[in-house]
Amino acid sequence: MSTSNLKYAFATGHEKTSEVAETILQSGGNAFDAAVAAYLASFVTEPVMASAGAGGFAQILNEKGENLILDFFCQTPKKHLSITPNYNEVPVDFGENIETFYTGAASMAVPGAMALISYLVKNYCSIPIVELVKPAQTFAKSGIKYTPFQAKDTLLLSNILLQNEDGKKRFLKNGKLITTGDSFALPQYADFLESFAREKDDWFYRGEIAKSITNFSIENNGSIRYEDFENYNLIIRKPYQFNFQNKLISTVPLPSLGGALMKVFLDNFDNKNTNALSKEHLELLRKAFASAIPYTSDSKKLFENINLQDESYQDQFSNRVPGGTSHFNIVDKKGNALALSTSIGVGSGYFIEGTDMHMNNMLGEPALMPNGLDSWKPNVRLNSMMSPTFCFDKQNNLELSIGTGGSTRIPFSISQVLINRYLLNLNLDQSIHLPRVYENEDVLYVEDGFELISNPKDKPIKIWPELDLVFGGTHTIDLKNKIAIGDSRREGSAKFVLNPSN
């Protein structure tokens, strides 16, 4: 791809995550160096969404033009080992409704975050891991100031974070929940990183961490075991690609359902001129949702639809699992690029001993398991909606790098930015911050700004008075127009830097 006058660009979910990425890039590191350091830093800067106990997907493009998906999402245990699995039932108040999540030992799946770090360091990084862990170690020891978004997210999930003494030790300050302006540190994480950098790259999966998690699982009626960690591997996949408005959209294949849902949605948004936020615009979005909604709860039907068009779209199925998700993008002057999405679900309530790291609860989402809470299939990758996405032009140059958190809204939030940018011809800032829509079988959700006089006759409507984090955080780099923007819905932070000589 052509980046002749680019020095570097990034778009992340936190200003401190961005600070780390920029420091590494300024020191001569490549995009993968910056990604490793930034991702490790995000375990402190975004502790409700990112952790060594997390999983996710990354799309990469190296300077040679190699484009790959790195699947480091969570894997189910090899066996159902507990007759009476230990779940903790925890209600979470989202304002409009109270949803029940399940945490505890039985909710944990094998995380892939540290497998991704090891893979990038071994295959793409130019800076030793002992140097790349230092920014995260500094944050972990000295602490970072909590931002309004992090405080809001922590408050939302406080029933999970404070369900035991481990969580209280980390998220209470003077007996009160940590909030905006408070210092947040994870000192044991600094020690964990020192050990990780010193040991072999499989230390997390074949050493004391795997043993510690296994012991907790055995003692608390969970199914995860040491052999599940031993058998975990990062999976390299080919991107799922399709055309939209003379662009090649490159995104995540199964086990993420997000890419296929993006295609269905974009294929069913009529390619005709319309005014942004008009009634017609809203109706076109609703028509696209009407085509996509049946597939959101029927992954096999979605698979069959896409597989008819692309036989390479195939994989084993498990159950779709959403959760708290973060995303960032980094591009360097040589054309190396990475888009990474990660999640711990809502967290299991278990912090890995001696690490300060919160384990995921990816098996604790009962609404997404049609045969019951403990119905997960053994030894498979869990499905997801995460969709780190690249857009290429006709000359195969990388033009856009984008992704978002937002659970089931992920593919539709990304799609609406692409529609705004390539069909409505809005600039990147407008494309990201234009009000969005989300619709499911029961409710139409709309950020205020669309022409709308009364409720639709077919279902209730919920209007948000302002842009809201529920609609995701579509942090984006636009290489064609030389700009990077972080979505204000989730306190995004971004910068696009050109070489001085240009």
pLDDT mean across residues, the chain = 91
Would you place residue 1 in the very low, low, confident or very high pLDDT band (cuts 50, 70, 90)? Answer: very low
Report, as an integer, the average pLDDT of 445-450: 94
- Residue appearing with tokens 């690029």: 337
pLDDT digits (tens, 9 = 90+) for 18-62: 999 999 999 999 999 999 999 999 999 999 999 999 999 999 999
Q: How wide is the angle at C-alpha 195 spanned by C-alphas 192 and 197, nearest 5°? A: 110
State both tokens at 440.
């499911």
Strands 357-358 and 351-352, sheet pairing: antiparallel
CA distance 451 to 465: 14
Does 471 score more than 60 pLDDT?
A: yes
Phi-psi region of 348 (alpha: psi -120 to 50; beta: other; left: phi over 0): alpha
pLDDT digits (tens, 9 = 90+) for 13-26: 999 999 999 999 99
- Helix axis angle, 279-296 to 410-422, nearest 10°: 140
pLDDT digits (tens, 9 = 90+) for 338-364: 999 999 999 999 999 999 999 999 998
CA distance 222 to 363: 11
CA distance 107 to 348: 6
Can you count the helices (H) and strands (E) in the chain? 17, 24
Rounded CA Rg of the chain: 21
- The DSSP output letter for 308 is H
CA distance 80 to 62: 40
**Lowest mean per-residue pLDDT among 65-69, 303-307, 338-342:** 303-307
Does 320 score more than 50 pLDDT?
A: no
State both tokens at 221.
């009626």
Q: Is 19 helix (H, G, I), strand (E, B) or coil?
A: helix
Taking alpha carbons only, the member of 388, 408, 343 closest to residue 251 is 388
- Residue appearing with tokens 């679900």: 345
Does 372 score more than 80 pLDDT?
A: no
CA distance 443 to 234: 37
Would you place residue 487 in the very low, low, confident or very high pLDDT band (cuts 50, 70, 90)? Answer: very high
pLDDT digits (tens, 9 = 90+) for 422-437: 999 999 999 999 999 9
Q: How far is CA 345 from CA 53, 190, 200, 281, 317, in A?
A: 10, 23, 28, 33, 19
CA distance 403 to 391: 11
Does 367 score more than 60 pLDDT?
A: no
Residue 94 confidence (pLDDT): 67
pLDDT digits (tens, 9 = 90+) for 377-421: 899 998 889 999 999 999 999 999 999 998 889 999 999 999 999
The answer to whether 385 and 127 have CB atoms below 8 angstroms apart is no
Q: Which residue has the higher pLDDT, 365 or 213?
A: 213
State both tokens at 338.
């990475």
- The DSSP output letter for 110 is B
CA distance 358 to 161: 9
Specify the long-range contacts of residues 143-147, CB closer than 8 Å, at least 24 apart. Answer: 143/183, 143/184, 143/185, 144/16, 144/44, 144/45, 144/183, 144/184, 144/185, 145/181, 145/182, 145/183, 145/184, 146/178, 146/179, 146/180, 146/181, 146/182, 146/183, 146/184, 147/14, 147/15, 147/180, 147/491
Residue 502 confidence (pLDDT): 52
pLDDT digits (tens, 9 = 90+) for 157-183: 999 999 989 999 999 999 999 999 999
Taking alpha carbons only, the member of 494, 501, 449 closest to residue 471 is 449
Q: Which residues contact 429 (CB under 8 A, 6 or more apart)?
A: 483, 485
Does 366 score more than 70 pLDDT?
A: no
Does 133 score more than 80 pLDDT?
A: yes
Q: Which residue has the higher pLDDT, 323 or 481?
A: 481
Q: For residue 191, how far is the Cα from the chain centroid?
A: 26
